[in-house]
Structures are given as structure tokens and as C-alpha cells.
Amino acid sequence: MTKLCPNCQYSNPDTNTKCEVCGQDLSSDLPGNSTNHSISGTNILRGLKLLRNGYLIFILEFVLGIALDYILLRTFSIGGILGPLGTLSSASSLSSLSSSITDIIIVILIDVVISVAAYILIYKGLKELSHLKPTVRTGATGAILVLVGLLLVVIFAVIAETSFSTISSTSSSLSVSTHLTGVVILGTILLAIGAILLIVGIIMLTIGLFRVGSAFSSGSVEAGAIIAIFLSIIGYIILILGLNGIISRISKAKDTTLGN
């Protein structure tokens, strides 16, 4: 005999008064409580693991970002593009500056591609968990907005790369000035829209993650979701630890139930 949790749909022993997974009260008068159900918890675990893996990618992105920035700075210094204090060297030309900007854009694109991969996993995880708690869909929607915002950044980077390549091969100062003006206007619009989507998306994502923490009674996930807004890498680590804790708890409860 089992008792189905109305919150996370986990199948608990009939003697339980609280869900072993999320801590939900299993009083008999709550809707959704019933017997003889067999819920494996596989979907819940899959959603949580997707969510955790998304933030693990962010940790890798942080480490890779530091390495790329270091390599990029050394390349500029060795090539004579940067002076002693990071200012433009007097020996640098428009062509070499364009090449440097191209390198920066490539690094940005690599960073964005990794972020997109992470947010796709986060979206899938929250989408899976929304079957458990519909209000988590707020976070899934936020992940989509962030992805659209990142796409606009990619479009801007591609336009900027194409524009600087054109500028470096143009001798007319008037053409260069006109081209730069167009790029600045278009870039400002794209980045403004992208920034708005990113901000709104991150806020919605934070709300969704906080609700995941609430659904599974995990203070670490709740705290990590909020801290990630201000101190991203620390927040991500706390989120991963919290999600690992939930995954471990569900796995142990599932093994115990199957063993009985």
C-alpha cells in the first residue's frame, strides 16, 4: 500500500504523514492522496539532473572564460596592440585593431554558445519539473527569454565582425564613418532589446528556481537562486549542491520504497 504525494507525485509508504521527497503533508483529507499507485520518480529525477547539469556547464564556462581572457590579453600584448596600461599602442593600425576586435568577438561567441547550451538544459529541466509544480513554468519561460536575448547578442556580434572586416578594407573615411554610424545604431537597438530580455528572463528564472527549492524543501536551492543574481559563480555552486541533495534524497527514498 502506498500514499501518493499530491505535490511531487512520489509514492510514499502508507504509514507516512509527510512525503519523503518534498516534505508535503500527506493528511488523508488532502486531494491527490490515494493508494496502489506506482510512481517511479524518474521524470522528477531527470528534470533535476538536467537542471543541475545546466549549472555545471556554467561552472565550466566560468573556468574557460578566465582561460580565454588570459590568452586573449597575452595575444594583444605580444602583438603590440595594447600598451603598458592596456591602452592602444601607437604602432597599432586600423587593420590590427580590426583583427583584435575579431578575436574579442570570437571569444564572446564561444561564451554565448556555451551559455545557450546551459540554458537549454535548464529549460528542459524546468519544463520537466513543471509537471510536478505548474508554477515552475515561470522559470522555463524565463530561460526562453534569456535564450532569445543571447541570440540577439550573437546577431550583433556577427554584424560587428562583418562590419569591422569591411572597414579594414575600406580606404574612404566617409564610407567608414557612415558604416560605423549604422553599426552603432543597429547594435544599440539589438543590445537594448537583448538586455531587457535577459534581465526579465533572469528574474523569471530566479523565481522558477526558488519555487523548485520550495517544492522540495531545499533552502540551498532557494538561496542559490537568489545569490546567483549578485554573485553568479557562488550561487551556481550552492544551486548544484542543493540540487544534488534533492537528487540524493529522492534516490534513497525510491530505493527504500522498492526494497520494501
Give the tens place of pLDDT for each residue, 35-87: 333 334 567 889 999 999 999 999 988 888 787 777 666 655 544 444 444 44
pLDDT in tens, 83-142: 444 444 444 444 555 556 666 777 777 888 899 999 999 999 999 888 777 889 999 999
Q: Are 59 and 224 in contact (CB under 8 A)?
A: no
User: What residue has cell string 553568479?
Assistant: 232
Q: Which of 135, 142, 114 is nearest to 57 (CA)?
A: 114
Distance CA 24, CA 21 (A): 8
C-alpha closest to that of 18 among 197, 249, 258, 244: 249
The verdict on pTM exceeding 0.85 is no
- Which residues are CB-contacts of 173 (< 8 A; sequence separation ≥ 6)? none
The cell numbers describing 70, all together, are 588570459
**Is the CB of residue 26 less than 8 Å from the CB of residue 18?**
yes
Give which of 148, 56, 72 is closest to 108, Cα–Cα: 72
